[in-house]
Structure 1
Amino acid sequence: MVEKLFYKSYWLGKYFGNRFEEVRLDDAGLVLTSTYQAPVIVAWSDVSSLVRHTPGIIFDTVVFESAGQRISVGWLHKSNAISLARLFTEQYYTHHSDCAAKALGKISSYLQKSGYLRTSHCRAIRDFVSTALLEIPSSSEALSLPNTSKDIFAQLKQWAELDAAMIDDIRARYVVEQKQCYQALFDRIESNPLTEKQREACIIDDDNNLVLAGAGTGKTSTMVGRVAYLLDSKQASGHEILMLAFGKKAALEMRDRVSEKLTDTSVSAWTFHVLGQMVISSVEGQKPAISPLATDEKLLNNQVNQWFSDLLEKPDYKESTLKYFEKHLFPEANPFDFNTQGEYFNYIRANEIRTLKGEDVTSFEGCLIANWLFAMGIEYKYQPSYLESNARTPDFKQYKPDFYLTEFGIYIDHLGIDREGNTAPYIDKESYHAGIQWTRQLHSQHATRLIETYHYEQREECLLSNLESKLASLRVVFEPLPADSVLHTLREFGAIDQFSVLLSSLLKRYRANCYMPGELERLADHLETTGQLKAAMDLLRPIIERYENLLASNNEIDFEDMIAKAIGYIEEGAFTSPWSYILVDEFQDISQPRARLVKALRDSRKGTSVFCVGDDWQAIYRFTGSDVGLTTGFESLFGPTQTTSLDKTFRFNNSINDVASQFVMQNPSQVKKQITTHNLVHSPAVSLVMKPITNNGILKHLIEILQNISGMARQGACVYLLARYHFRLLEADQLAQLKRSVPALKIEQHSFHASKGKEADYVVILGLDNTKNGFPSRKLIDPLLEVLLPTEEPYPDAEERRLFYVAMTRAKHRCYLLTDMNKTSDFVKELLADNYAIELNEFYTEASQLMAPEHECPSCKTGRLVKRKGPYGSFIACSNYPLCQHKKSTCPQCSADMETSGRFSVCLNHECGGWVPLCPQCGGDLKHREGRYGKFWGCSNYRSQEPSCNHKEQEITYS
């Protein structure tokens, strides 16, 4: 009991309006007295604010609130005012400490019952504290409160502010307790005891939980352990748990493992489609019928093809189709967006860009012009030699215009410059413009007609219309081919059938995305492909209508409906989830609609916990709609999340781990993880095998590699042959021969995608080259499909890089990278350039392979200089020929490669010793010639007309 404390105002204050002259306070409250009115009694329970001390020049004032009224006591000496304010505050908190203690007691009781402290629990406690103690501000450390009261208010302050350190401490203590309590369960639930991180993942139970795994770190074991823990700890019964997988096989495996380990058959382990079907059945009262078009891709493609053919009989649709093909036959890429000319050539080759007449072209824009000329009935030759002269100089090769219109004698050159005259980054601007001036002078000299078109015209979408105007001004007669003739050509070219297949893919992708009304149109407005997308949607929309009408008339649904209708029913409240715990396997493969379905299920039942296991390093299914951003940006979609990383792999050793992890983490968007390995080795386990590979030569190299493996491996060891595409693997007879050559090994072959989730003792990776179907793949996804897929990552080859990680990490003991260094993959170049810890000397390597990196084409940067034969003998040319025209001479004596040494080209074959002098003026070869005055050395760039190099010398020796 605190005795009454007395404070009195200065006597003069009563004459100047001071309302209260005396203040007494004790445990019960305050008594304020005045000469002119009855005392005012204020209980502490009625005080609604802390006292506020306002200093004055001579006297101070204290103010507080009670029952909504402001009470002011003035004319206090400073010491009295300070003392009154301090004791007022201490008594105020002392009075409310009982209430605060009761609140903490309720919080403690709540925590004991609630298990793991979820974010939603923290928010509920914060709201409770804010409500229960609404009028009690935080206390000051300077107050003379009992330590117990200080502790109470300090804890309340932590809850009110959701102090992260306190919450982390509570959670950590809970996890430690649960680990100890359920140690026996975690030790026996799988064949090997769960790791510490796996146990933590099983126990941590926030509203949203993300478990980031690495290859071989036990994702499925963690899923099973999580279910076992929930059941054993009585936090859930089996019917309250839903496990989701993407494939039927994975769902069955989870169901079998749960049944085997836990003998509980009430846990649901389904695919997303089974879940959707169950939701629809529950709402509609009957199981929906599945359309045969949903289960037979060939049947769907045939049906779409029939609809497309029928629609082409309609004049308007036929015209729209032809306009589409005129502009959008191939996926377009801006040549200015490539770093090297070779990269642009890879795009041309990978996407098989050629004219309707079957001509290989060097640019997409050149293909557009060729096809337009064809459709307009204008005969042309593509890149013929200039007819009027042998136009070649020391600085410029034989002039080959892009087009020659044979009936009109008109040349067309397409120039790769923008409005400001800039060239692509890999083209020397000064030299390019010098070439333009030279060709213009050449046409002027020979009075030939030249039309120029420009790259910027295509970017401004006026290339073909401008060309038509330019040709019309020269009185070119257009005789457009009839629509049916163009369609016939397109059919012969295969474009109609290819577009029909594309329409089928677009139909499935469009429906799978579960677009809201107008969503696709809004998306298109922000994309460069808007024109193409809108044109394609005009062609696709009638297909969609026919498809949906067919489903409706047969009272059937497809797999896309299973997801879309389920989402709708849940979001509308027609279906309420019976599950309190939702577990999702391989979350990195999830698409936006499936993530939306999981979120809708969570939100339909209060207190539901979401538990997702995935590895963003193994996200390789963007082409099916999977969005890795849903894993790397998990919290932005689902809300506050607890993330646990499974950091120990039991599959591969530390050497494979170091190479694969370092390689995949070059992409800064990948989640940084430190994976440790159960198996440790002390030498490189990724071996680069550098061999010249021909169409029939790969089998010989594989036999060598596998015989080497057989010498170190156990009997029956498994070896995977892996490639980016199935067709880059061995033919059946080759595989049979390989198996006969090494009977001690079990040999399988898979594509990179098909190998995911599998493992082998040894892996050999094939197809590591930069050819059209090489790896990393540079084949562009059709721009229309690209629009309907998740946004592509800005980092180059992001998904191809993850594919390489997946391929390497299938191996337990050793991974072999088989490549021909004369056409090797950019990924192999990176491994070498960045000094990855890989083995380079396990097999004999020819000198030509070791020297290959030095033989990079100086022009396109991606090709290799290889020996070729022509009508005038052998020469060295780029492997990207005919796209890249770079070439140089070989030794005239032995045809070996040569290198520059001073003013000579010297043969690299030391047994030969051949040499060729170089022109000191232009750098060309000096040829031994004979004229009217005898023998001399003359420049190979000599021409009978200017410009020409006329340098010559009488005698040259090399030593």
Structure 2
Amino acid sequence: MSSLIQGWEWVCSSAVKLLASLIRDHIEDANDHAFEEGRRRGLAEGRTEGYSEGLQKGQLVYKVEEAPAKPSKALDPGLYGPARFAVATVESQMRNEVALAVAAGIVRAPTEEQWRMILSDHPATCISAGAGSGKSTTLVLRVVFMLQHLGVRDEELTVISFTRASCHDLRQSLRKVLGFWRGSEISEKWANRRVRTFHSVLCGLAETSLPGRKLFTFLGDKEDPILEAGEEDVDNPITGSKLNDAQAAVIRKAYGSLFSQSQEFRSSILAIVRSQLAVAALDRSGGDLKPGRIYYAAMRDNAVREMLERLWESHGWPFEGVEVGPFEIPASLGQHKLYASGVEKATNTPVVLGFPPSSDESVRMLPVIVKDIGDYSLGKAQWDKKTILSRYAERPYIFIQSESDLKNFLLRQKVLKESSEHCLPADAPVFPVRLDGEMKEALIYEALFSQGEFIETLGIEVTQMINRMPTPQVIDVNTHFLSALGLFWPHLRKEMEQQKLHTYNQAFLTLTGVADTVRLNAQRLGALRHLLVDEFQDISPQIASWLKAMQRRLLSDNPSKPVSVMAIGDDWQSIYGWRGSAPQLFIKFVDYFRTHEALGPAGELMLTANFRSVPAVLADAERLIDRVGIKVAKRCDPKVPQLSGDHGVRLEQYSNKEGKMSREDELRLLSSEISSIYKSALAMKLKSTEKVIVMTRSGDMRDKLRSAFPQRRYPGMTICTYHQAKGLEADVAVMVGDCAPGASYPIRNMLYAASGMYPSYTYDDASADEAFRLAYVGVTRARRRVFWYVKRAGDGGTAVVYASAT
């Protein structure tokens, strides 16, 4: 039994050992498999990771993957840049060549200021060049430098000036100087193409872009410069200048047809008739009049009124449509009263009589006899009444003193009668209108055209400008005029379009608006790639916008070819604001002519040296500029030595306290003074041929003095207006008449505000500044001496600057 048990135990023990061996072998096999599997996977994964890392490192040698681009940059608004002209490498060569030209007598050696202009590397540069600074010669050398050393092609450069005369002078100088550089004569044709007026350039472009059109400016002329495709000179036309018969016929026809078609237009015109035609212009300027003057005028008034009524009886007094007075005129005169001779029945407007036509001096000298006060001439008494009413009348009144006044009054009665009877007048009334602020009256259709033209110089369509204006707070003649203008302008444009006519302003505006798409002559457009603009202070916002639009088109057509502009001018001599010029474009050149942000703002340089006038003249001239509100701040450095007898402004006031003097006496006095000055100028024995320049404020006085001093008998004497004197000079300057701004100009103040171009700067502000700049131009025409003759240096003028010294 025990052996059986032992046998069973052995069997069990063997079975356990076998099982344990099997389990051990299985575990060892599993471990071996796991090891191999782990080893295999590790090698595979290691190989993959290593290969990938090695491959990427290897690819750095021969493969570049493009990184994702950054978001697109916003379009840079700048037109000029970002590159500068490559000046540094050619500067020394230009300086050496100029030295040779100086030695040959071709040019004068430039100053360092002038060299900075010649060698400017900025593609948008503004040069503030004072009077007598030698800017024209420097401008010519800049052109030479651009053509000879900066790689600018002849056909891609244009010099622009404002008048034929200034262009002629620049061409002659450029032909001489560039001819020296190129060693051959420069043809007149080449110079004509390189130096142009703005309007000559426009004519050339319009020939392609506005085919078949005729320029309104030349309507009625025998020759139309556009037929020459812009190759002929075209002067800068003056906005507001008198229309010729052919031009007036077009405007008048449009005025008449619209009057017959539009009830709204008729209403506006008739409202202007009621408020303007034959109605006296009030003058609130100046201080209060002395109480005694008002007292005695009131004491004499009945006698004065009755004397004038008797004088008018032979001319049809009392006139049709008038209820005979006397009627008190509402006026701020305290207890004193002045009376009208009658009132207009249709409007209850007072009618005041002045002297009838052809009243001679004997009539004006008639005594006004009033008990208890001294005798007084009728002329003086009537003048006092007119002055007092102009200053203190509280409502409009009709004043009749001349044949034209009577004619206007009778026309007024005819229009008022027809309109009151609710019938259409047979013809559109044609009458003179003088808006507040205007120096002269103009026929109604001419006034509408003139104001529309002025608006367009601001670079804005007329109807767009009028729509920008806020709702009026008062209804007056200006409100009615703007309403009429807003209707008249699109009608006129339509009428002109039917005749294939356009004005310069319309051409500038049209080409500016369609610059991106219109077909333009590539050669003529290409000539505007590099611009040098002389007298830049005289351009208008409209022309500035056109220039930029043309250069933007060039850049759009070929972005790899940059454009440039150099503006040369002197805001101190900006005197054409009344026709739309804007010195702000020059003063704030950086704001209006934007450059690429990578380049930085436009370059601004100054030419301060003066090679014309002696220190005394310049010092007195700058006293005027001190009164100008907005200007470029600069100094003027005189280079001409002062001789014994030289002086600045000597002011002569030659009338009584009221500024009165007959025209004959005035002309006699001035002629005597000018004759003496001319003799003294000849005795100075200077080498110059320009001895005396006489400048007048009015064309009428200019013409009378020209008759008194014919040029053939007075060589070396020039007689012109202040505006015509710009660019001229002489040893002695004689100024006749004060430079005073006009009265406040409500319509143009509103236009300035609506344009948004001149924040906090009104048209009245601009006119006040321009009056001092005009006087400055007059003074700086003189090399050595200035004489200024005014009737009276009043607070409203500019000669008052020197009144304390006389």
TM-score (norm 2): 0.60
Q: Which residue of 1 aligns with 2:408?
A: none
Q: How does 1:617-766 map to 2 (within 5 A)?
A: 617-639=572-594, 640-681=601-642, 684-692=647-655, 694-695=662-663, 696=665, 697-698=668-669, 699-714=671-686, 717-729=690-702, 731=704, 734-736=707-709, 745-766=715-736
Tell whether the 8 Å contact from 1:808 to 1:815 is kept in structure 2 after alignment.
Answer: yes
- Inter-CA distance 481–530: structure 2 relative to 1 (3 Å threshold): closer
Q: How does 1:135-150 map to 2 (within 5 A)?
A: none
Deviations 1:355-410 (A, max 9, x none): xxx99xxxxxxxxxxxxxx9997655465799xxxxxxxxx9872156698899xx
Report the alpha carbon displacement of residue 733 of structure 1 after superposing the two structures with TM: 7.5
Taking the aligned partners of 1:332 and 1:629, their CA distance within structure 2 comes to 35
Q: Which residue of 1 aligns with 2:781?
A: 810
Taking the aligned partners of 1:674 and 1:569, their CA distance within structure 2 comes to 42
Taking the aligned partners of 1:201 and 1:761, their CA distance within structure 2 comes to 29
Tell whether the 8 Å contact from 1:277 to 1:566 is kept in structure 2 after alignment.
Answer: no
**Larger mean Cα displacement after TM superposition, 746-755 or 548-557:** 548-557
Report the alpha carbon displacement of residue 663 of structure 1 after superposing the two structures with TM: 1.6
Counterpart of 1:813, as a letter, is R
- Inter-CA distance 517–307: structure 2 relative to 1 (3 Å threshold): closer
- Inter-CA distance 528–211: structure 2 relative to 1 (3 Å threshold): farther
Percent identity, aligned pairs only, is: 18
Secondary structure in 1 aligned to 2:651?
Answer: strand
Taking the aligned partners of 1:200 and 1:291, their CA distance within structure 2 comes to 42
Secondary structure in 2 aligned to 1:755?
Answer: coil
Taking the aligned partners of 2:113 and 2:344, their CA distance within structure 1 comes to 77
- Aligned counterpart for 1:794 among listed residues 762, 765, 786: 765
- Inter-CA distance 455–608: structure 2 relative to 1 (3 Å threshold): same
Q: Which residue of 2 aligns with 1:567?
A: 512
Q: How does 1:355-394 map to 2 (within 5 A)?
A: 381=326
Report the alpha carbon displacement of residue 524 of structure 1 after superposing the two structures with TM: 1.7
Q: How does 1:216-231 map to 2 (within 5 A)?
A: 216-231=132-147
Q: Which residue of 1 aligns with 2:740?
A: 776
Report the alpha carbon displacement of residue 519 of structure 1 after superposing the two structures with TM: 2.7
Counterpart of 2:270, as a letter, is L
The question of 1:558 aligning with 2:531 is answered no
Tell whether the 8 Å contact from 1:331 to 1:781 is kept in structure 2 after alignment.
Answer: no
Q: Which residue of 2 aligns with 1:482?
A: 417
Taking the aligned partners of 1:801 and 1:832, their CA distance within structure 2 comes to 15
Counterpart of 1:630, as a letter, is L
Q: How does 1:900-911 map to 2 (within 5 A)?
A: none
Q: Which residue of 1 aligns with 2:14?
A: none
Q: Which residue of 1 aligns with 2:24?
A: none
The question of 1:210 aligning with 2:210 is answered no
Taking the aligned partners of 1:179 and 1:342, their CA distance within structure 2 comes to 67
Taking the aligned partners of 1:786 and 1:191, their CA distance within structure 2 comes to 49
Q: Which residue of 2 aligns with 1:90?
A: none
Q: Which residue of 1 aligns with 2:251?
A: 304
Taking the aligned partners of 1:678 and 1:785, their CA distance within structure 2 comes to 41
Taking the aligned partners of 1:795 and 1:561, their CA distance within structure 2 comes to 25
Taking the aligned partners of 2:517 and 2:428, their CA distance within structure 1 comes to 51
Taking the aligned partners of 2:743 and 2:156, their CA distance within structure 1 comes to 46
Report the alpha carbon displacement of residue 729 of structure 1 after superposing the two structures with TM: 2.8
Report the alpha carbon displacement of residue 718 of structure 1 after superposing the two structures with TM: 2.5
- Inter-CA distance 599–481: structure 2 relative to 1 (3 Å threshold): closer
Secondary structure in 2 aligned to 1:794?
Answer: helix
Secondary structure in 2 aligned to 1:324?
Answer: helix
Count of aligned positions: 574
From the two aligned structures, give the one with the greater strand fraction: 1
Q: Which residue of 1 aligns with 2:337?
A: 400
The question of 1:278 aligning with 2:204 is answered yes
Q: Which residue of 2 aligns with 1:100?
A: none
- Inter-CA distance 677–502: structure 2 relative to 1 (3 Å threshold): same
Report the alpha carbon displacement of residue 786 of structure 1 after superposing the two structures with TM: 7.1
Secondary structure in 2 aligned to 1:731?
Answer: helix
User: Which fold has the larger relative contact order, with Cα–Cα distance below 8 Å and residues 6 or more apart in sequence?
Assistant: 2
Taking the aligned partners of 1:618 and 1:307, their CA distance within structure 2 comes to 38
Deviations 1:189-223 (A, max 9, x none): 95422222122112113131101111121222222
Counterpart of 2:531, as a letter, is I
- Inter-CA distance 506–211: structure 2 relative to 1 (3 Å threshold): same
Q: Which residue of 2 aligns with 1:831?
A: 802
- Aligned counterpart for 1:120 among listed residues 82, 101, 113: 82
Taking the aligned partners of 1:627 and 1:807, their CA distance within structure 2 comes to 20
Tell whether the 8 Å contact from 1:719 to 1:745 is kept in structure 2 after alignment.
Answer: no
Tell whether the 8 Å contact from 1:491 to 1:497 is kept in structure 2 after alignment.
Answer: no
Report the alpha carbon displacement of residue 723 of structure 1 after superposing the two structures with TM: 1.2
Tell whether the 8 Å contact from 1:667 to 1:795 is kept in structure 2 after alignment.
Answer: no
Counterpart of 1:547, as a letter, is L
C-alpha root-mean-square deviation of aligned residues, in Å? 5.0
Secondary structure in 2 aligned to 1:340?
Answer: coil
Secondary structure in 2 aligned to 1:204?
Answer: coil
From the two aligned structures, give the one with the greater helix fraction: 2
Deviations 1:278-324 (A, max 9, x none): 3333446x574334665662122243234434554568243331113
- Aligned counterpart for 2:494 among listed residues 541, 544, 549: 549
Counterpart of 2:718, as a letter, is E
Tell whether the 8 Å contact from 1:656 to 1:814 is kept in structure 2 after alignment.
Answer: yes
Tell whether the 8 Å contact from 1:301 to 1:504 is kept in structure 2 after alignment.
Answer: no
Tell whether the 8 Å contact from 2:458 to 2:541 is kept in structure 1 after alignment.
Answer: yes
- Inter-CA distance 482–497: structure 2 relative to 1 (3 Å threshold): farther
**Larger mean Cα displacement after TM superposition, 670-679 or 712-721:** 712-721
Tell whether the 8 Å contact from 2:256 to 2:428 is kept in structure 1 after alignment.
Answer: no
Tell whether the 8 Å contact from 1:211 to 1:611 is kept in structure 2 after alignment.
Answer: yes
- Inter-CA distance 580–764: structure 2 relative to 1 (3 Å threshold): same
Secondary structure in 2 aligned to 1:652?
Answer: coil
Report the alpha carbon displacement of residue 825 of structure 1 after superposing the two structures with TM: 7.3
Q: How does 1:2-41 map to 2 (within 5 A)?
A: none
- Inter-CA distance 252–540: structure 2 relative to 1 (3 Å threshold): same
Q: Which residue of 1 aligns with 2:108?
A: 192
The question of 1:767 aligning with 2:737 is answered yes
Secondary structure in 1 aligned to 2:604?
Answer: strand
Tell whether the 8 Å contact from 1:657 to 1:675 is kept in structure 2 after alignment.
Answer: yes
Taking the aligned partners of 2:726 and 2:91, their CA distance within structure 1 comes to 34
Tell whether the 8 Å contact from 1:189 to 1:228 is kept in structure 2 after alignment.
Answer: no
The question of 1:326 aligning with 2:251 is answered no
Counterpart of 1:597, as a letter, is W
Deviations 1:235-265 (A, max 9, x none): 2121121222222333343334323322452
- Inter-CA distance 708–381: structure 2 relative to 1 (3 Å threshold): farther
Deviations 1:707-737 (A, max 9, x none): 333333448652111011211335167524x
- Inter-CA distance 666–563: structure 2 relative to 1 (3 Å threshold): same
Tell whether the 8 Å contact from 1:506 to 1:785 is kept in structure 2 after alignment.
Answer: no
- Inter-CA distance 183–493: structure 2 relative to 1 (3 Å threshold): closer
TM-score (norm 1): 0.52
Deviations 1:418-453 (A, max 9, x none): xxxxxxxxxxxxxxxxxxxxxxxxxxxxxxxxxxxx
